[in-house]
Structures are given as C-alpha cells and as structure tokens.
A and B are shown apart, each in its own frame.
Chain A
Amino acid sequence: AQSVSQHNHHVILSEAASLELGCNYSYGGTVNLFWYVQYPGQHLQLLLKYFSGDPLVKGIKGFEAEFIKSKFSFNLRKPSVQWSDTAEYFCAVMSYSGNTPLVFGKGTRLSVIA
C-alpha cells in the first residue's frame, strides 16, 4: 500500500527565510505526486504536481518541488517565504494507473512570523 511521510509537523520561519518541507513516499510503481496548501478556514488548493518529465516542478505562488526517484522524495521549496504563506501543506501521491484516490501525508503546518 502507498504511504506518504511528512517529517515536519510544524515549521516556524521568519519572513524572507527559505523553506523546504520534506515528503517521502513508499510505493513500488510509477506515481504522480502533489503538494496542496490549505489556508486557515479555506479549502485545499493545488500548489503543484509532478507526472513525468523534468523532476523540478514549478508551481503557483513561487513554490517548487523536486522529485528524486532514488530517494522516493518530493520536497517542497520556496526561496523566501511571506507571512501569507502561513498554512497547512499536504503532500500526496497517486499511483500512475489513474482514476485512483490520492494518499495524503499528515501535513506540515507552516507559521511565518514577521
């Protein structure tokens, strides 16, 4: 069965600091990978996704993620965070077979302080 591990439960950063949130998955086959963000009181919003091709994926709001197949990782990065990035971030994986549900990590809460 697939599983997703997000190592950081809560990350606190100052504005302008760089961000990297870890995500590792376990699945033997080909996968599609996702990062979602959930702002306080709002619904899930897709930040970026990886299906194939360039393992460095650029998403919205200045976020990017790198797929490293050998490490089963898909870490999320942003060079300089803003206060408005305060949110919960979820990594998710889906098997490549399609029409299958996403398996989510437990999420990482990011708090950005001024």
Chain B
Amino acid sequence: GAVVSQHPSWVICKSGTSVKIECRSLDFQATTMFWYRQFPKQSLMLMATSNEGSKATYEQGVEKDKFLINHASLTLSTLTVTSAHPEDSSFYICSPSQGGYTFGSGTRLTVV
C-alpha cells in the first residue's frame, strides 16, 4: 500500500518557538493532504487541507497564521506550528487524499 512518511515522530519545544512537521508520500503523488490533530482521549479532528500549488483551507477555529501549511510539491506537505504554546501540545497526523486512506505515523508535540 501507499506509504506516508511523517517526521519528526515526537518533539518537545519551548513555548514561543516554531516546529515544522513534514509529511512525504514515498511511492505516489499526493495532490491533497489532510492534516488532523488528536488531543488526549479525543478523536482525530481535521485541522486543514493542503493542496499542491495553492493555499490551504482551514477548519473553523483553526488559526491559519499559527498553523502554516505548505504543499510545494506532489510529495511533500509541511505543517509549521508557529509560536507554539502548551495548549498546542497534541498529536498531529497527516493523510493524503490519494493513497488508500493511509496515515502518517504522527507527530507528538509537547510544548513546555
């Protein structure tokens, strides 16, 4: 099946710093990437949708200036959490619209 590589797997950062999360499709081209986050003991919630070569669309309540998404190529989509705060601590996971409904391995972000 399709393989999605997500890095880093986990990251701890200080409050106020930025963190970049990468998702790469290894054996297929992903024109659309869905970004989800999962808070402890909750389900995955869609944050935003990135489209190669165009602006991302964000779900209600998700700050586009805080969660910067770049989808510059058909194999790479990135999510940057800018000026991270403890409330941003969560599990972030990507999933391409193509690729058989697979998911990246996720990134556990802890902001201290």
> Interface of A with B (CB < 8 Å)?
34, 36, 42-44, 46, 49, 90, 94, 99-107
Contact = CB atoms under 8 A, between A and B. Distances in A.
Contact of B44 (A42, A49, A99, A104): A104
Interface in B35-75: 36, 42-46, 49
Contact of A106 (B32, B42, B97, B100): B42
A62 B97 CA distance: 27
Interface residues of B, number: 19
Interface of B: 32, 34, 36, 42-46, 49, 93, 95, 97, 100-106
Contacts of A102: 34, 44, 46, 95, 101
B34 A101 contact: yes
Given A34-B101, A101-B34, A102-B101, A43 B93 contact: yes
Given A43-B106, A44-B93, A101-B49, A49 B43 contact: no
A106 B103 contact: no
A43 B103 contact: yes
A90 B103 CA distance: 13
A42 B106 CA distance: 9
18 contacts: A34-B101, A43-B93, A43-B105, A43-B106, A44-B93, A46-B100, A90-B43, A90-B44, A94-B101, A101-B36, A101-B95, A101-B97, A102-B46, A102-B101, A104-B43, A105-B43, A107-B42, A107-B43
